[in-house]
Amino acid sequence: MSNCFIILAAGQSKRFKSINLKQYTYYRNRPVFEHTLDKILECKLFKYIILVTNKKSFIKKKYLSRIRVLKGGKERSDSSLIAIKYAKRFKVRNILIHDAARPNFSLKLVKNVLFGLKKNKAVVPYINSTDAIKYNVKQSLFNLRKENIYLAQTPQGFRFKDIYNLAKKNKNKIPDESSLFINNNYKVKFIKGEIENTKITYKSDLKNISTFYGIGFDVHRLVKERKLYLGGLEIKSSLGTLGHSDGDPVLHAVTDAILGACKKGDIGQKFSNKNSKYKNIRSTILLSSVIKEVDENRFYINNLDINIITQTPRISKYKNKIVKSISDICGISKNKINIKGKTTEKLGIIGKEKAIACEVIASISKYDL
């Protein structure tokens, strides 16, 4: 027997009040639902992963070979039933069902739910309310003890046979799958959830908390018989930058700024100019390598502010293309990148067109699994 994980991402986001559905809105450098997908794929605890959505066009190709994608229903309970019925063919023992709008759950919570299913048919994480609770019945108000109030979270875990039978018979709209068990007097094992595992409901819920900053700077001489690369873009010029690699001062400064914000050293430590392996290497390759490491360590880029300091060429002509280049390498949207072209008013080595410099400030945050 194996485990199946269902991600419900077909909601209409009525309270989110945006032209973009919340599950596809970018949060920490990726759509909300991708946080769940990445975590579950990484943990390797589930042989089968089902994503229920009404927007298959939003699913990147890299996921399609590793998951099943199903079209959702009108209501949450409809989408859940569609996925549960589909999962029957897998003959799994356990099934976990999760709201895509909860991207901040930890893998520890997932493991706790699975562990609970060894002796229980239904396992649901919860937290207690920190607010005073008032219950309104026919215009009469009652005070409820908040320590007796359970705020249910997902992922919720079930023995497949039981959830399948209950979901198949259900004709009513339900807020979550544990309601099926409670409504039918089945025992539910409640375990401690996570305060961070909040559900994104309103636009104001999409807030990043911890922020770090890094500064990058690089300068290269301009010489003959060298190509000129700025921000990964080859610029037509009679002069190019002198360097051990391709001498791209923009990407070098971006790389240093990101490494600095993540406290991962500097570009010289990562790619020493004493190593022949990096002789004439494209800086796009170096930055891509750093971005992969950044992503693996759960950092994400909030924005990059870039000053390119050169007398010639004029940066305004290439600004949009450089933004796109850096956006593609870093895997972030173009509106997170700002580029300004600066001159030194013909002063110094840069003003005499003998060098190009770049300085970058990067804003970086980190999330926990």
For residues 15 and 113, membership in a common domain is answered with: yes
Dump pLDDT digits (tens) for 224-252.
989 999 999 999 988 989 989 999 999 99
- The backbone torsions φ and ψ at residue 242, rounded to the nearest 5 degrees and listed phi first, read -90, 125
Closest CA to 110 of 181, 209, 43, 165: 43
Assign residue 11 the CATH number of its domain: 3.90.550.10
In three-state secondary structure terms, 97 is: strand
For residues 219 and 192, membership in a common domain is answered with: no
DSSP 135: E
Closest CA to 90 of 111, 65, 67, 107: 67
| Domain end marker among 163, 181, 205 | 205
For residues 268 and 360, membership in a common domain is answered with: yes
For residues 165 and 18, membership in a common domain is answered with: yes
For residues 252 and 151, membership in a common domain is answered with: no
For residues 239 and 181, membership in a common domain is answered with: no
Closest CA to 159 of 151, 169, 167: 167
| Domain end marker among 177, 205, 233 | 205
Find the mean pLDDT for residues 282-303. Answer: 91
Dump pLDDT digits (tens) for 165-191.
999 998 888 999 999 999 999 999 999
**DSSP states of 160-192 as a string?**
HHHHHHHHHH--S--SSTHHHHHHTT---EEEE
Is cis: bond before 103, omega within 30 of 0? no
The CA-CA-CA angle for residues 339, 340, 344, to 5°, reads 145
For residues 217 and 192, membership in a common domain is answered with: no
Dump pLDDT digits (tens) for 2-24.
899 999 999 877 777 777 788 88
The number of distinct structural domains making up the chain is 2
Joined together, the tokens standing for residue 29 give 């450098």
Given a contact cutoff of 8 angstroms between Cβ atoms, the answer to whether 109 and 193 are in contact is yes
What per-residue confidence (pLDDT) applies to 211? 83
For residues 150 and 277, membership in a common domain is answered with: no
The whole-model pTM stands at 0.67
Dump pLDDT digits (tens) for 138-154.
889 989 998 899 999 99
For residues 48 and 158, membership in a common domain is answered with: yes
Dump pLDDT digits (tens) for 32-68.
999 999 999 989 999 999 999 988 888 888 898 899 9
Joined together, the tokens standing for residue 278 give 């990096």
Assign residue 220 the CATH number of its domain: 3.30.1330.50
For residues 198 and 264, membership in a common domain is answered with: no
| Domain end marker among 158, 180, 205 | 205
Dump pLDDT digits (tens) for 322-353.
999 999 999 888 989 999 999 999 999 999 99
Q: Per-residue confidence at 272, pLDDT binned at 50, 70, 90?
A: confident
What per-residue confidence (pLDDT) applies to 209? 60
Dump pLDDT digits (tens) for 98-135.
999 999 999 999 999 999 999 999 999 999 998 898 88
Give the C-alpha separation, 20 to 145, whole Å: 38
**DSSP states of 233-290 as a string?**
EEE--SEEE--SSS--HHHHHHHHHHHHHTT---HHHHS-TT-GGGTT--HHHHHHHH
For residues 35 and 176, membership in a common domain is answered with: yes
For residues 201 and 219, membership in a common domain is answered with: no
Tell me which H or E stretch contains 123. strand 122-128
Range of the domain at 39: 3-205
Give the C-alpha separation, 304 to 330, whole Å: 10
